[in-house]
Amino acid sequence: EAGVVQSPRYKIIEKKQPVAFWCNPISGHNTLYWYRQNLGQGPELLIRYENEEAVDDSQLPKDRFSAERLKGVDSTLKIQPAELGDSAVYLCASSLRGESEAFFGQGTRLTVV
Amino acid sequence: GNSVTQMEGPVTLSEEAFLTINCTYTATGYPSLFWYVQYPGEGLQLLLKATKADDKGSNKGFEATYRKETTSFHLEKGSVQVSDSAVYFCALHNTNAGKSTFGDGTTLTVKP
């Protein structure tokens, strides 16, 4: 069974440019998470979806970040415009509804120059 | 709020040495506790978990026991291998909130 798939693996952009990350969760997993992992730190939750509904986006900087999960499967996280401080690894994870164990993708390493 | 504090690294050991990585937490309610491992260039992988007090999680020779009285979930392995070199993250999952809180990670390097 395929795991959580993210693309791209790496992205380098200039500040003020837009960028988007894509995630395909494990088939059948209702819950999808986007985390941001700064260098030397643990992941921090940005947004959590239950199917297509964003049930926790309290940590998402809504002035520049947006996310969607159309049809409750794939998800896209967008940053517009990007700032230098957005450089980080963006991790997607999924789980079955109500389960505590999450499965992570390999992440997208974003570098803003 | 919820928080996880784990031993600062980096930790460098010789092969076959004993490993302990300390982890303590603060949480409301009764969270599940996890250790994740992140190998270079890869995402986080679940290493082991425990869902209630006094449970012991184990996998690949690693163990951790959920200690409610000391709010701890220390990771141990009796004999580490070079292939265990990675970053280890302690985490808790609050079922009511539906989200996990991670520690900052501990980098382990095992030398032959």
Q: Which amino acid is at B47?
A: L
Closest CA to B92 of B8, B45, B24: B24
* Mutant choice from B99, B102, B106 vs A, greatest count of A C-beta within 10 A: B99
How high is the pLDDT of residue A1?
64
Q: Which chain A residues have a beta carbon less than 8 Å from that of B97?
A: 56
Per the CB < 8 Å rule, is B51 touching A100? yes
* Residues with pLDDT less than 70, chain A: 1
- Rounded-to-integer distance, Cα B111 and Cα A7, Å: 33
3-state helix, strand, coil in chain A (%, to 5): 5, 50, 45
Beta-bridge partner residues of A6: A23
Q: Which chain B residues have a beta carbon less than 8 Å from that of A103?
A: 46
Q: What is the pLDDT of residues B56-110, one digit of tens each?
A: 999 999 999 999 999 999 999 999 999 999 999 999 998 777 788 999 999 999 9
Span B42-68, average pLDDT: 95
- Rounded-to-integer distance, Cα B83 and Cα B73, Å: 23
Q: What is the pLDDT of residues A70-82, one digit of tens each?
A: 888 999 999 999 9
List the beta strands (DSSP E) in chain B: 3-6, 11-14, 19-21, 23-26, 32-38, 44-50, 56-59, 62-65, 75-77, 86-94, 99-102, 106-111
Quick one: tokens of B3? 């928080």
How high is the pLDDT of residue B97?
78
Q: Are strands A65-68 and B62-65 parallel, antiparallel or unpaired?
A: unpaired
Contact A75, A25 (CB under 8 A): yes
pLDDT at B27 over 80: yes
Q: Which chain A residues have a beta carbon less than 8 Å from that of B93?
A: 100, 102
Instruction: Kindly identify which residue of chain B lies nearest to residue A9, measuring between CA atoms.
Output: B41
How high is the pLDDT of residue A99?
82
- Rounded-to-integer distance, Cα A107 and Cα A100, Å: 20
**Residue scoring higher pLDDT (B15 or B99):** B15
Instruction: Kindly identify which residue of chain A lies nearest to residue B90, measuring between CA atoms.
Output: A42
- Rounded-to-integer distance, Cα A62 and Cα A30, Å: 23
Tell me how many degrees the CA angle A5-B94-B63 measures, rounded to the nearest 5: 75
Residues 31-70 (B) with a CB less than 8 A from some CB of A: 32, 34, 36, 41-46, 49, 51
Q: What mean pLDDT value characterizes chain B? A: 94
